[in-house]
């Protein structure tokens, strides 16, 4: 299992590195705050799994017992664990609501500080009994958080929700499984093998990356899908109502106020009122400014 786990991790890290750059490209065209948080999550996850892999290599592949190196490795993983837990509430809030609220910022700080305190306590008492159950707790919290986010967005039609549903399913199942098998190995420690943790972690990374790669391939290969996603993000960013979205689309297509009123069976005065509200939300003062603001989204360069 050790050799298989080694090569699966090499493949997984390569894929995750590629997904980071695909997400960076997608962020340039979609321009949504969710992609900023997703990039943070991918980067921090890559580093956490990398140092897990380094510890595995030292113990099983190189078969070197280097306590000082392994201690430093553990401390680095602790640091990335704190950063991941600090970022998860912000990341999930952007998926669920499309923005970062004050409450999620407070929760993020509380979770980060709580994780730091728990890890310091764990380092002080150095209990081999409590440590494994802290791992169970962390994995269960992450898996439960992803599952909660999926339940919240399962009926949403915004691009951010449709884009991240499969990721949330894969990640919630994976982390809840990590928690479950950690309990099994705590009860039956003789069943545990050093290669099992990096093996299942690599499988999770590969499934996650292949799912993302298929999503990006579908988006990048279709101009229509890409433009529709970009427009959805614009509407989501400025919190436009369905009627306002219709008016914006017709405005960008070159229709006059009277033509929009006729198209939507509204009075010209009502259309003007809607357009005034749209301009205010989007921080523009003319139709040309609105079109210029949307143009990079429709025709990214």
Q: Model's pTM, two decimal places?
A: 0.78
Structural domain ending residue among the three candidates 182, 197, 225: 225
Q: What is the DSSP string of 3-14?
A: HHHHHHHHHHHH
Do the domain assignments include residue 101?
Answer: yes
Distance of CA 98 to the CA centre of its chain: 12
User: Residue 258, Cβ neighbours under 10 Å: how many?
Assistant: 10
Do the domain assignments include residue 233?
Answer: no
CB proximity list for 94: less than 8 A, separation 6 or greater: 32, 33, 34, 36, 37, 100, 160
Residue 129, token pair as written in the block:
């009994």
Same domain, 31 and 178: yes
Same domain, 10 and 62: yes
CB proximity list for 120: less than 8 A, separation 6 or greater: none
Do the domain assignments include residue 230?
Answer: no
State the Cα–Cα distance between residues 150 and 173, nearest whole angstrom: 11
Same domain, 204 and 248: no
Q: Look up tokens 């360069």; give the residue.
A: 301
In contact, 82 and 115? CB cutoff 8 Å: yes
Do the domain assignments include residue 89?
Answer: yes
CA-wise closest residue to 177 among 203, 151, 152 = 203
The low-confidence residues of the chain, meaning pLDDT below 70, are 65, 127-129, 222-230, 293-301
Do the domain assignments include residue 191?
Answer: yes
Parent domain of 12? 2-225
Same domain, 183 and 245: no
Structural domain ending residue among the three candidates 171, 192, 225: 225
Structural domain ending residue among the three candidates 162, 197, 225: 225
pLDDT at 300: 41
pLDDT at 120: 87
How many domains would you assign to the chain? Answer: 2
In contact, 176 and 147? CB cutoff 8 Å: yes
Same domain, 21 and 136: yes
Same domain, 220 and 250: no
Distance of CA 243 to the CA centre of its chain: 30
User: Interior CA angle at 70 toward 174 and 204, to 5°?
Assistant: 15
Residue 261, token pair as written in the block:
């009123």
Same domain, 64 and 208: yes
pLDDT at 74: 85
Same domain, 178 and 100: yes
SS3 state of residue 201: helix
- Residue 249 belongs to domain with CATH number: 1.10.10.10
Same domain, 91 and 213: yes
CB proximity list for 234: less than 8 A, separation 6 or greater: 240, 294, 297
Do the domain assignments include residue 186?
Answer: yes
In contact, 85 and 111? CB cutoff 8 Å: yes
Same domain, 293 and 149: no
pLDDT at 297: 46
Do the domain assignments include residue 48?
Answer: yes
CA-wise closest residue to 162 among 229, 104, 227 = 229
């Amino acid at each position: 299992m050790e050799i298989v786990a080694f090569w699966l991790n090499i493949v997984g890290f390569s894929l995750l590195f590629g997904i980071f750059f695909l997400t960076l490209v997608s962020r340039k065209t979609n321009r949504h705050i969710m992609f900023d948080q997703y990039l943070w999550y991918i980067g921090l996850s890559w580093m956490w799994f990398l140092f897990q892999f380094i510890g595995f290599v030292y113990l099983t592949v190189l078969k070197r017992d280097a306590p000082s190196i392994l201690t430093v490795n553990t401390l680095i993983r602790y640091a990335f664990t704190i950063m991941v837990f600090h970022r998860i509430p912000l990341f999930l809030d952007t998926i669920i609501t499309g923005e970062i609220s004050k409450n999620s910022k407070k929760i993020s700080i509380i979770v980060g500080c709580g994780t730091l305190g728990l890890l310091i306590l764990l380092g002080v008492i150095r209990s081999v009994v409590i440590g494994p159950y802290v791992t169970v707790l962390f994995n269960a919290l992450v898996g439960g958080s992803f599952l909660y986010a999926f339940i919240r967005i399962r009926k949403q039609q915004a691009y951010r929700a449709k884009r991240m549903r499969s990721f949330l399913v894969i990640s919630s199942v994976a982390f809840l499984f990590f928690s479950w098998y950690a309990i099994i190995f705590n009860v039956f420690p003789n069943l545990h093998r050093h290669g099992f943790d990096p093996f299942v972690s690599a499988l999770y990374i590969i499934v996650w990356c292949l799912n993302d790669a298929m999503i990006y391939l579908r988006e990048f290969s279709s101009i229509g899908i890409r433009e529709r996603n970009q427009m959805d993000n614009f509407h989501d960013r400025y919190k436009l109502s369905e009627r306002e979205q219709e008016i914006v689309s017709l405005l960008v297509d070159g229709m006059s106020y009277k033509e929009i009123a006729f198209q939507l069976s509204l009075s010209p005065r009502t259309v003007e009122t809607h357009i005034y509200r749209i301009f205010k939300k989007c921080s523009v003062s003319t139709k040309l400014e609105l079109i210029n603001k949307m143009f990079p989204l429709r025709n990214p360069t």
